[in-house]
Amino acid sequence: MGGLNAAQIGPVVSRLNDALVARLLCLAEDELGPAPAPYAWIVFGSEGRMEQTLLTDQDNALVYADEGAGHEAYFEALTTRVVPGLIAASFPPCAGGFMATNWRRTLSSWARLFRGWIETPEPRALVEALNFFDFRRVHGSLDLDALEHLLKRAGREPLFMAQLARASLRLTPPLGAFRSIKAADEGVDLKKGGLMPIVSLARLYALEAGSGARGTLDRLDEAVAAGTLSSEGAQTLAEGFRFLLGLRLREQLRARREGESVTNSVRLDHLSPVERQHLKDVFVAIRGMQNATALRHAVARLA
């Protein structure tokens, strides 16, 4: 891995992807003409957090200034050139449809959407919102401070934070009786079982801190600085995140070398006894942090 650890590789991969998106947008503008209003191409999910590895799909959207409301045809044409271009460059479409061809709207419309998630949080809608709260602009001149302000305000809304906590806890580590690791035939899904639970906890505590950070490790640091998360809790999650990220990348590189499908899973028989114990300890620690979070936000009392 060139002397870089997995947490350092993510930003490198993301910057390369940013450059590709910017190039595709410039080519589209050359063909279509200048945009009729300022816009911003945003990414979210792992790309928004700059935590991508080998297995990634598209998570993107388009925000354009309100004066562009009468020019939907232009922005539709823009997205229908860029999204297929990314597919041609081996970035598969998002299975959930979270791509700019489906998600493009004016800045005021995006602001209303964010306010709706924050002011009247509904469990199903918040599961959808989690990804969008990781948004990051990769191209365009439109000022997105209005959306940033709404995110920072969100942490001061108790009902929203309680519902967000519940949504953030829906993925749990695969632990069975006596805290044993439960593995499927294809192995243990490191993303669903470990990485996403940590990502969700970091996002929750960072929002509570009023932080605008996107990366998981940065969010943990800022939560500690603001006092919304203990230093010990943050260190536990950070160490677990680095371990899981490195383990997933190592397994993905092995699969690529051996001509196998690249996935987010690892077989337990591919791990040494020390690694299996470490994986179990990380899962136990995540579950403990999730239980503490559920108590902190009184998740059990939500209707």
Poorest-confidence range of 13-17, 28-32, 232-236?
13-17
233 touches 289 (CB < 8 A): yes
pLDDT digits (tens, 9 = 90+) for 237-255: 999 999 999 999 999 999 9
> Residue 89 and residue 83: Cα distance in Å, rounded?
10
Helix (H) or strand (E) holding 159: helix 158-168
Backbone angles phi, psi at 63, to 5 degrees: -120, 130
User: Would you state the pLDDT for residue 303?
Assistant: 61
Report pLDDT digits (tens) over 26-76: 999 999 999 999 999 999 989 999 998 766 788 999 999 999 999 999 999
Average of per-residue pLDDT values in the chain = 92
Residue 8's pLDDT band, with cuts at 50, 70 and 90, is confident
Hunting for tokens 């790309």 — which residue is that?
Answer: 47
Annotate 116-131 with b (16+ C-beta within 10 A) or e (fewer). ebbeebeeeebeebbb
Cα separation, 139 vs 40, in Å, equals 6
Residues 149-171, mean pLDDT to the nearest whole number: 91
